[in-house]
Amino acid sequence: GAVVSQHPSRVICKSGTSVKIECRSLDFQATTMFWYRQFPKQSLMLMATSNEGSKATYEQGVEKDKFLINHASLTLSTLTVTSAHPEDSSFYICSIGTSGGSSYNEQFFGPGTRLTVL
Amino acid sequence: AQSVAQPEDQVNVAEGNPLTVKCTYSVSGNPYLFWYVQYPNRGLQFLLKYITGDNLVKGSYGFEAEFNKSQTSFHLKKPSALVSDSALYFCAVRDNDNNDMRFGAGTRLTVKP
Q: Give tens-digit pLDDT for B44-91.
A: 777 888 988 899 999 989 999 999 999 999 999 999 999 999 998 989
- Mean per-residue pLDDT over chain A, rounded: 84
Q: How far is CA A106 from the centre of its chain?
A: 16
* Rounded Cα gap, residues A29 and A4, in angstroms: 11
Looking at residue B23, its amino acid is: C
Q: Residue B53 in contact with residue B67, Cβ under 8 Å?
A: no
Condensed to tens digits (0 to 9), the pLDDT of residues A20-69 reads 999 999 888 888 888 988 766 555 677 888 888 888 989 888 999 999 99
Give chain B's end-to-end CA distance (angstroms, integer).
41
Measure A79 CA to nearest chain B CA, in Å.
16
Please report the residues numbered 33 through 52 in chain B whose beta carbons come closer than 8 angstroms to any beta carbon of chain A: 34, 36, 38, 40-46, 49, 51
Q: Of A21, A14, A1, nearest to A116 (Cα)?
A: A14
| pLDDT given for residue A100 in this prediction | 47
Residue B49 with chain A: CB contacts under 8 Å: 43
Percentage of the residues of chain B whose pLDDT score is greater than 90:
53
Count Cα atoms within 13 angstroms, Cβ side, for B44.
Answer: 32
C-alpha to C-alpha distances, A74 to A3, A6, A26, A77, B49, nearest whole angstrom: 13, 15, 10, 8, 33
Cβ of A107 and B46 within 8 Å? no
Answer whether B43 sits within 8 Å of A36, measured CB to CB: yes
Residues 62-91 of B with CB under 8 A from A: 87-88, 90
| Residue B25 burial (CB count, 10 A) | 22
Which of B46, B96, B101 has its CB closest to that of A112? B101
